[in-house]
């Protein structure tokens, strides 16, 4: 039985630089049911590149969002990501379960770029048991101080975190649920956010590489504002598609080129370890996925099919669900949030 059991309600809380987002999902039945989604802007200066700069502002925003949503149960699934988390797929000699744990933890000392005494480690052996001489292991390490800081932040907002997930895993969880038949050799799941863009490479649905890059929609808006003598608000509106702006098409092409280059480099790195791997589709989520020109530009630049990842492709939406209007206006923003809410174990 999963962590939450049958017919339980789970809440995903995505604490982002641009917004705090919430999704409440009813587990059980034929498929999960979305009961409500909410989002609230993060106050300027409260966070930057995923780092909490003003804890009091972040706490107040989370508390107000939960109260506004009317969530009775203050137990949620939140996440850590960025440079606080290290993920790597390892190939090790096959060993029995009792021996695997100590051996994998010892191997982690060779790979984890943090002080090993200050991290929390976890791992998963991929694939079913076999007769092969080697096995694949997905290793995850997170800075313990960051884990504790995030739990404290949630507690100060009156929220009890049932589980603290990893952003790359939550994204892949939502993607696998909504696109179960996606069987390309390699899929790039790109989360183009406010301050940063994360490139998540999935092989057979498993995240095998996650990289964060410091370019996002805010940088694009700031560049346009500077080049054209506009207010940041006006430039942001243009980026989101609210009106025309000279030079916008060129700026979007440049942003698409940055994303495409990052995806290509990640794929090239994986091919050094597995020369036969081939690139499949690119799926875009986050604010960048709300810009049709961005999606089209990445597809042209990479010459592969590029699509918007729909967090609700295989999720039932309750009639009259709170925040329903957001599904048509900004659904790509909620892929990570839904991945957290869909977590059952």
pLDDT at site 2: 39
Q: Where are the beta strands (DSSP E) in 106-168?
A: 119-126, 134-143, 160-166
The residues, ordered by sequence, that sit 6+ positions from 32 with a Cβ below 8 Å of its Cβ are 25, 26, 177, 315, 316, 341, 342
CATH of 183-308, one of 3.90.1150.10, 3.10.20.30, 3.30.420.40, 3.30.1360.40: 3.30.420.40
Cα(342)–Cα(345) distance, integer angstroms: 9
* Closest C-alpha to 147, from 163, 159, 171, 158: 163
- Look up the CATH number of domain 86-143: 3.30.1490.300
Please check whether the two domains, 1-85+145-179+310-345 and 86-143, share a CATH topology: no
Q: How far is CA 230 from the centre of its chain?
A: 31
Lowest mean per-residue pLDDT among 150-154, 161-165, 313-317: 161-165
Percent of residues, the chain, with pLDDT higher than 70: 93
* Closest C-alpha to 19, from 342, 329, 345: 329
Q: Which residue has the higher pLDDT, 227 or 62?
A: 62
pLDDT higher than threshold 60 for residue 5: no
Quote the tokens at residue 171: 């994204």
| Integer CA distances (angstroms), 277 to 23, 133, 270, in order | 35, 21, 8
pLDDT higher than threshold 50 for residue 152: yes
Q: Are residues 192 and 267 in contact, defined by beta-carbon separation less than 8 angstroms? A: no
Cα(325)–Cα(215) distance, integer angstroms: 28
Q: Are residues 86 and 140 in contact, defined by beta-carbon separation less than 8 angstroms? A: yes
pLDDT at site 204: 80
Rg of the chain on CA atoms, in Å: 20
Burial class for 42, CB neighbours closer than 10 Å (0-12, 13-18, 19+):
buried
Residue found by looking up tokens 């993060």 in the block: 42
pLDDT digits (tens, 9 = 90+) for 18-63: 899 999 998 877 788 999 999 999 998 899 877 899 999 999 999 9
Quote the tokens at residue 54: 């003003």
Cα(61)–Cα(58) distance, integer angstroms: 5
pLDDT at site 130: 66
- Look up the CATH number of domain 1-85+145-179+310-345: 3.30.420.40
Task: Please say whether the dihedral angle defined by the alpha carbons of residues 222, 56, 141 and 8, taken in this order, is positive or negative.
Answer: negative
Q: Where are the domains of the chain?
A: 1-85+145-179+310-345, 86-143, 183-308
Q: Are residues 102 and 86 in contact, defined by beta-carbon separation less than 8 angstroms? A: no
Q: Are residues 104 and 111 in contact, defined by beta-carbon separation less than 8 angstroms? A: no
Q: How confident is the model at residue 242 (pLDDT cuts 50, 70, 90)?
A: low
Whole-number mean pLDDT of the chain? 85
- Beta bridge partner(s), residue 206: 203
pLDDT digits (tens, 9 = 90+) for 109-149: 888 888 888 888 888 887 776 667 888 888 899 999 999 99
Q: How confident is the model at residue 337 (pLDDT cuts 50, 70, 90)?
A: very high
pLDDT digits (tens, 9 = 90+) for 54-103: 999 999 999 999 888 887 665 789 998 888 888 888 888 888 767 788 88
pLDDT at site 261: 94
């Amino acid at each position: 039985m999963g962590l939450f059991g049958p017919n339980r309600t789970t809440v995903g809380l995505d604490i982002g630089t641009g917004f705090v987002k919430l999704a409440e999902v009813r587990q059980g039945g034929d498929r999960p049911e979305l009961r409500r989604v909410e989002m609230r802007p993060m106050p300027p200066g409260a966070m930057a590149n995923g780092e909490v700069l003003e804890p009091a502002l972040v706490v107040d925003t989370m508390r107000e969002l939960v109260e506004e949503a009317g969530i009775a149960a203050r137990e949620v699934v939140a996440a850590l990501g960025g440079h606080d988390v290290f993920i790597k797929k390892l190939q090790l000699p096959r060993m029995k379960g009792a021996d695997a744990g100590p051996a994998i933890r010892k191997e982690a000392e060779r790979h984890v770029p943090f002080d090993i005494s200050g991290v929390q480690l976890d791992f998963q052996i991929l694939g079913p048991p076999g007769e092969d001489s080697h096995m694949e292991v997905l290793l995850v390490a997170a800075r313990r101080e960051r884990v504790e800081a995030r739990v404290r932040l949630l507690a100060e907002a009156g929220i009890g975190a049932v589980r603290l997930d990893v952003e790359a895993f939550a994204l892949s969880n939502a993607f696998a649920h909504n696109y179960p038949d996606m069987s390309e050799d390699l899929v790039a799941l790109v989360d183009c956010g406010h301050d940063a863009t994360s490139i998540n490479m999935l092989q057979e649905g498993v995240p095998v590489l996650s990289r964060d890059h410091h370019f996002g929609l805010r940088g694009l808006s700031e560049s346009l504002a500077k080049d054209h003598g506009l207010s940041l608000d006006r430039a942001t509106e243009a980026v989101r598609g609210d009106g025309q702006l000279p030079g916008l098409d060129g700026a979007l092409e440049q942003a698409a080129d940055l994303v495409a280059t990052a995806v290509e480099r990640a794929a090239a790195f994986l091919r050094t370890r597995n020369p036969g791997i081939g690139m499949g589709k690119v799926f875009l989520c986050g604010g960048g996925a709300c810009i049709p020109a961005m999606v089209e530009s990445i597809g042209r630049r990479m010459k592969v099919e590029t699509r918007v990842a729909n967090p609700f492709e295989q999720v039932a939406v309750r009639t009259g669900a709170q925040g329903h209007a957001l599904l048509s206006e900004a659904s790509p923003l909620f892929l990570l949030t839904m991945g957290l809410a869909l977590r059952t174990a």
